[in-house]
Amino acid sequence: MAIQHGIRGQLLSNEPMSKHCSWRTGGVAETYFMPADKQDLQTFLAQTSAELPVYWIGLGSNLLVRDGGLKGVVIGALNRLNKLQLLPQELVYAEAGVSCAKLTRFCQQHNLDGAEFLAGIPGTVGGALAMNAGAFGSETWQFVESVEMMDRQGNLFEREAASFAVSYRSVDLAKDEWFSAGVFSFPIKLNDKPSVIKPLLAKRNSSQPIGLPSCGSVFKNPEGDYAARLIEACGLKGFCIGGACVSEKHANFIINDDQASASDIEKLIGYIQREVSEKHHIQLQTEVRIIGEKL
């Protein structure tokens, strides 16, 4: 792509996405940009051709990049769009690259309640907003007051939470618009209420394959049931295609067990869907986003 003027961030060519996705696999990004801050990203986008595809990622924990890689530009927001501040009336402003764990700690430090569930989400604020991430019975958009958006030209604008159609792991988002920040409203914590962060993390660690390359939950839970139960009932725990395996610990997790390709993982996703459909007459929908070119 053309040389960008006035850019302070880092611009890389043919960057392996395996370095930026929690599955530790996938093809290369034609261009990978790590902005110095939000203003730097605005400058960059204003100079970028409107025909060039643009993707935003945070921790890459809900993403599978196919082996053929990505044409266009990937924006690496993690720790780049990282402003986090307390606003009047106990509102919290968090930019898209702030990790969910960091937002949880910030709320704890300021005696705010309700953000504990975010400690169990291995992603960023931008990703949590984009998919209405949830855990332990809570969801991101329960606490959203408003959001700050950035469009394809780098323009910023605000929208109220009520202007979005939000559902389970889904938010209606216009093409070429992204969440650059969110404003959250968490209630003040009662002084005698104990912290539940450690128990929640202990529960997560005991039931999920933490520390192994995965994307978290692969499939959405169908209404009235659990994807993990359906997959386990098909006898698929431990089943592998290439280096990709269904976790023995939690059936809704796929592990990169032995240098899995993105193709291995995608084939396993399809196999699981077919088995569950055949045996339970339920079509599992993916939570994970699959993007890029096949080889």
Name which of 142, 57, 135, 126 is nearest 94 in CA terms. Answer: 126
From the list 99, 217, 247, 261, the catalytic residue is 217
From the list 146, 169, 247, 263, the catalytic residue is 169
How many CA atoms are closer than 13 Å to the CA of 81, on its beta-carbon side? 30
The tokens for 85 are 């501040």
CB-based contacts of 202: which residues, under 8 Å, 6+ apart?
none
CB 107 within 8 A of CB 186: yes
Say whether 217 is catalytic: yes
- How far is Cα of residue 127 from the mean position of the Cα atoms in its chain? 4
Name which of 126, 112, 115, 132 is nearest 81 in CA terms. Answer: 126
Name which of 46, 135, 68, 6 is nearest 295 in CA terms. Answer: 68
CB 120 within 8 A of CB 201: yes
The tokens for 83 are 């402003």
β-pairing, 70-76 vs 54-57, is: parallel
Amino acid at 60: G
Say whether 15 is catalytic: no
**Residues forming the active site:** 169, 217, 287
